[in-house]
Amino acid sequence: MLNKKNLILIGIGILLLIIGFICLGTGPADNPVSLSVAPIILTIAYVVIIPLGILFNGKDKDK
């Protein structure tokens, strides 16, 4: 079950995806932001933040 921390991490991941795609679409093709910064942001969002938000299992207070 997704709790508040999971939803916050997934929200941060979606925000990073939006920022990454905006950076990817800016300026000419030889822009350093669209060539280096945007792929790094997108990779971090897709590979680290969103899976962490899905798989993160906090301490259960029910037990």
Determine if residue 27 is left, alpha or beta; phi over 0 gives left, psi from -120 to 50 gives alpha, anything else beta: left
pLDDT value of residue 60: 61
pLDDT value of residue 39: 93
Nearest to 20 by CA among 2, 44, 3: 44
Contact yes or no for 12/49 (Cβ under 8 A)? yes
- pLDDT per residue as tens digits for the range 1-56: 778 999 999 999 999 999 999 999 988 888 888 899 999 999 999 999 999 999 98
Classify residue 33 by its DSSP letter. Answer: I
* Percent of all residues in the chain with a pLDDT value above 70, rounded to a whole number: 90
Structure-token match 């899905």, residue found: 54
